[in-house]
Structure formats: structure tokens, C-alpha cells
Amino acid sequence: YAAKRKVSPQYVSKLCKEGVLQLVNGKIDPELADRQISDFTAQIHESPGPKAKGPVSDDSLASWRKRELQVKTGLKKLEYERERGLLINKDELLFSLKDLFLGIRGQILSIPTKLKVEMIQTVEKGCNVKVPLDVQSKLTAIMHKECQDVLLALSTWQAPGATKTKKRR
């Protein structure tokens, strides 16, 4: 019967298991089976709701193939862009950015020490006076606090619309 209908034997077996085709004395009656299949397919085409179990329509198969082709095309495009160097691996980017920001952080934190030395030398030279150590310490503390405030603001900044993520260590 499967050869006559030009379908696979598995498809005919499936229709039998689902009760679409009924066996007569354990065998398929071709005339009865043709009527049952035409009734079944007419029932599927008439129903407005989701498709019942049974043969896949040409429309759904075509749309599935179209979607599959779109996905494959998109993947090929991404692979091509990656090979040309237009795309960057996220982990590599994050690692590079972390190194960059740690370097900038170190430079910002060294500003108070460098600035303190310059300020004290300028004051001592211009005023012919030694700056007391407690004043030097206060200057350093003020500058460190200002740098820390800037670093804290940078470390907690988030792009508009971004969600908070857990810190990884």
C-alpha cells in the first residue's frame, strides 16, 4: 500500500498506530485506506486550529526550510566575519579590557604620590619653607580620597538599560 501511495512504509505504520487507517483481518484494504486518508486530510484542512498529528503540510515544511536556510545563512555570515577579524571573542575582549582598566587604575592611584612630591617641592622652593609631615600626610589623604571616589564611580557605572551582573573573581 505504501508503494501505491508513494509514501514510506513507516508513514503507513504511523497512520495505523494513530488510528487513521484501520486494518481488516490484519491487512490494509486499499479502497478503505484511501477513503480514510482522504477523510483524515480533509478534516485537517477544515480545522482552523493547530494542526493535529499527521502528515506535515507543504506550507509548514516550506516555512521550516526557509527558516532553516535563514539560520544557516546567518551562521555562515558570522563565521565569515569572525574569520575576517570583524568579530571578537567575548572572553578575549573582557580579559583585554580588564588588563586595560587595571593599568588605568594603577596610574590613577599613583597620581597622589607623584602630585604630592611635585606640590611639596614647589611650595618649599617658592616659599623657602619646609612643609610639615602632617600637612604632607593630609595632602596625600585628600588626593587619595579624590582618586578613590573617581575609581569607585567608574567601577559602579553601568550603561543605560544594562542589568547588574554578579562580580566574578
Contact present, 7 and 21 (Cβ < 8 Å): no
32 shares its domain with 63: no
64 shares its domain with 121: no
119 shares its domain with 143: yes
Can you give the pLDDT at residue 169? 44
The model's pTM? 0.38
Number of domains the chain is built from: 3
77 shares its domain with 98: no
83 shares its domain with 98: no
Provide the 10 A C-beta neighbour count for residue 36: 17
68 shares its domain with 103: no
Provide the 10 A C-beta neighbour count for residue 112: 19
Can you give the pLDDT at residue 71? 92
101 shares its domain with 151: yes
For the chain of 169 residues, list the mean pLDDT of each consecutive stretch of 10.
87 87 85 85 64 62 88 90 84 87 84 83 85 86 86 75 55
- Say which residue the cell 622652593 belongs to: 125
The domain of 83 spans 57-87
Quick check: is 132 in a domain?
A: yes
User: Of 37, 67, 87, which one is at a domain's C-terminal end?
Assistant: 87
129 shares its domain with 105: yes
SS3 110: helix
How far is 94 from 165, CA to CA, in rounded Å? Answer: 14
CA distances (Å), origin 17, targets 3, 42, 83: 19, 19, 50
Can you give the pLDDT at residue 10? 92
